[in-house]
Amino acid sequence: MNRKQFFRQTLVLFCLFQFSLFIFQSKAQVTIGADREPNASAILELVSSNQGLLLPNVSLTSTSSYAPLKSHVAGMIVYNTPGNAEAPAGLYYNNGSAWVRLVLPSEVTAVSGDDGVSATASGATTTVSLTDLGVTTGKLANASVTADKLHQMGATNGQTLTWDATAQKWVPGSPTKKIVSVKAGSYTVQADDDVVITEHSASVNITMPTLTAAHDGKTVYIMNNNSGGSGNNFVDAATGWILGQGTSMIIGRGAVFIWDNTGSRWISVSK
């Protein structure tokens, strides 16, 4: 081979090399498994109807250690096998400082928490903090929360929840209203009574007590639930004033009484 032929072949090879580099750079996106252009948003597209992507199988020593890799790399995905107590077998991604295992819903064995939610799965516990007002009725599906799924918090029969403005949460409490059922022919209203319901077979004589300035504005609701349509009679203990006679309050109706300390009397505002 003379010098002229040598230079000619060298030039051809150089041109072919440059052309192959151009083709490779223009095809930065790759499709494997089909003769077609890859998705415009994908650097790599795999196509198969009977095969899958097999990720690297590694043996993690713990979720905090990057080993056997050289460092923590956010976005790195591996399959850990065979696994251990601290890092059970499964699919993991790296968040830049630790390995996080993807947990299946069927693996969640317990959910608990007050200020947040702690989910326990395969021996590992993950806590998710809930921001104030983060869970609203609009985010809950209809009938998704039922009474039997509410944490009892040591509640007793008939106990109510009251709003604690200082702690900004609902806490177990006791009813603040005193409700009295009267089944006898007479009853004297007590200073701490809030609701009085008469359930007698005949009329009930109700005596309204004399209260003090500390009770000014005190209200009592009295309802007639007597059988046979019998009414109730009301008497002011201080003045003997008859507030009503016989049918003064028909069955199924009620009246609100307010203590007026200035006039030292009870005022009926409805009946």
pLDDT in tens, 102-123: 877 777 666 655 555 555 555 5
Peptide bond into 68 cis (omega under 30): yes
pLDDT in tens, 216-247: 988 898 888 888 667 788 887 777 665 554 34
Which is nearest to 223 in space by CA: 246, 186, 198, 188?
A: 198
Contact 216, 261 (CB under 8 A): yes
- From the number of C-beta atoms within 10 Å of its C-beta (0-12, 13-18, 19+), residue 208 rates as buried
Contact 31, 24 (CB under 8 A): no
Per-residue pLDDT, averaged over 84-105, amounts to 89
Helix, coil or strand: residue 245: coil
Helix, coil or strand: residue 112: strand
Q: Does the structure show a pLDDT above 80 at 1?
A: no
Task: Mark whether 186 and 266 lie in a shared domain.
Answer: yes
Q: How confident is the model at residue 91 (pLDDT cuts 50, 70, 90)?
A: very high
Per-residue pLDDT, averaged over 188-209, amounts to 88
Q: Tell me whether residue 158 is in a domain.
A: no
Q: Tell me whether residue 227 is in a domain.
A: yes
Given 128, 146, 167, the domain boundary residue is 128
pLDDT given at position 22: 52
Cα–Cα distances in angstroms (integers) from residue 95 to residues 58, 59, 118, 263, in the given order: 17, 18, 20, 75
Sign, CA torsion 5/9/10/12: positive
Task: Mark whether 120 and 183 lie in a shared domain.
Answer: no
pLDDT given at position 247: 41
pLDDT given at position 147: 59
Looking at residue 243, which CATH number applies to its domain? 2.60.120
Q: Tell me whether residue 115 is in a domain.
A: yes
Q: How confident is the model at residue 140 (pLDDT cuts 50, 70, 90)?
A: low
Least confident of 90-99, 129-138, 216-225: 129-138
Least confident of 41-45, 128-132, 252-256: 128-132
Helix, coil or strand: residue 181: strand
Task: Mark whether 189 and 121 lie in a shared domain.
Answer: no
Which is nearest to 186 in space by CA: 227, 235, 229?
A: 235
Task: Mark whether 114 and 184 lie in a shared domain.
Answer: no
pLDDT given at position 230: 73
Task: Mark whether 186 and 259 lie in a shared domain.
Answer: yes
Q: Tell me whether residue 252 is in a domain.
A: yes
Q: Tell me whether residue 207 is in a domain.
A: yes
Higher-confidence residue: 39 or 139?
39
- From the number of C-beta atoms within 10 Å of its C-beta (0-12, 13-18, 19+), residue 58 rates as middle
What whole-number percentage of the chain has pLDDT above 70? 62
Per-residue pLDDT, averaged over 30-34, amounts to 86
Q: Tell me whether residue 248 is in a domain.
A: yes
Q: Does the structure show a pLDDT above 80 at 48?
A: yes
Least confident of 42-51, 202-211, 236-245: 236-245
Q: Tell me whether residue 103 is in a domain.
A: yes
In eight-state DSSP terms, residue 98 is S
Q: How many domains does the chain have?
A: 2
pLDDT given at position 245: 42
**Total residue length of the chain:** 271
Which is nearest to 196 in space by CA: 260, 242, 204, 246?
A: 204
pTM for this structure?
A: 0.37
Domain interval for residue 115: 57-128
Q: How confident is the model at residue 8 (pLDDT cuts 50, 70, 90)?
A: low
Higher-confidence residue: 122 or 89?
89
Q: How confident is the model at residue 152 (pLDDT cuts 50, 70, 90)?
A: low
